[in-house]
Structure formats: C-alpha cells, structure tokens
C-alpha cells in the first residue's frame, strides 16, 4: 500500500506505476497494490487531473474509478508492505502500527540518499517525495520520475519476499 496526504496525487501515481511494474514482472496475480492517505480531506475524490495527465502521457493507466480514502489502522496491519511518500506519512503510519511493515517508498531507489536505521528519526526526510499538488506540471513530472526510480526496487524486494515465503 502506498500512502501520501490526501490520496489524490503521489500515492495513486505510485499505486498505478507499481501495478504496471508487477504485471510486467509476471507478479500481477500474486500482488495486490492499493493506496491511501493520512488525511480525510480528499475522501472520495478522484486522482488529481494533473496526475492523470502525466500518467497518460507516460503510457500508464490514469486511475479512473479511484476514490481517495484515509488509511485505517486495519490497513496498516493487514498489508505486508506500507510505502509512505514522506517522513511525515511514515510517522503517522507508525503511530497506527509501529515500524514493522512501514518503509519509505524512495528507500527502494538506488540513487536516493541512504538513511540508516539509527539515523532515521533525523534523516528520513531526505527520502521525501515532494507534494506536486501545490506546483505545476513539472512538479507532477518530477513526482512520477521519483516514483518510477524506486518502482523496480519495490518489485525486486517483493519478488524476494515471495520466494523466501515459498522456501
């Protein structure tokens, strides 16, 4: 599950990209990807029109039928991997269920800063994906680029986890 603030920009973009990558990797039937937000302010709203435009321009599904929703404690407990877009989202998720399955989305980007567990409280913000909602189309392009940069790392991590569970 990917998580951002309102569940209309970053997290649905990441959900769509990940679903596409899992399908391409032959794992689409074995992995469920969804998204939520830590806030209820966008509840029921569709994916932001600018996010849909950028997704379409890059050949992705546009998230038609998506309805923003707020994360619940049961969501965090029931997901094997919870991927917050920022350190603020990570802290909110950890308050719901501890550290166990919460891991910063960009931590899977090989070019992203390395944040060690002992410095996470101080440095985890270095892995934030900025909110494009307040900016222009270039901000949405930048957001998608960051999401794509980490997507293959997420897929590989999940592939390894599935193999480990079958062993």
Residues recognised as catalytic: 4, 10, 131
Burial of 110 (0-12, 13-18, 19+ CB in 10 A): exposed
Rg (CA), the chain: 15
Write down the residue that tokens 């910063």 correspond to. Answer: 104
d(CA 50, CA 83): 22
d(CA 43, CA 149): 28
- Give me the helices (H) in the chain, please: 10-24, 49-57, 73-78, 87-97, 120-123, 137-166
């Amino acid at each position: 599950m990917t998580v951002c603030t309102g569940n209309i920009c970053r997290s649905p973009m990441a959900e769509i990209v990940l679903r596409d990558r899992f399908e391409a990797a032959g794992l689409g039937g074995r992995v469920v990807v969804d998204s939520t937000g830590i806030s209820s302010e966008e509840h029921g709203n569709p994916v932001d029109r600018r996010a849909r435009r950028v997704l379409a321009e890059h050949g992705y599904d546009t998230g038609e039928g998506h309805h923003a929703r707020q994360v619940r404690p049961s969501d965090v407990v029931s997901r094997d991997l919870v991927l917050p877009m920022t350190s603020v989202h990570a802290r909110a998720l950890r308050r719901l269920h501890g550290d166990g399955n919460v891991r910063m989305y960009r931590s899977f980007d090989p070019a992203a800063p390395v944040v060690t567990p002992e410095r996470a409280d101080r440095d985890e913000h270095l892995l934030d994906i900025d909110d494009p909602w307040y900016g222009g189309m270039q901000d949405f392009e930048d957001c998608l680029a960051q999401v794509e940069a980490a997507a293959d790392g997420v897929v590989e991590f999940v592939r390894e986890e599935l193999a480990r569970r079958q062993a």
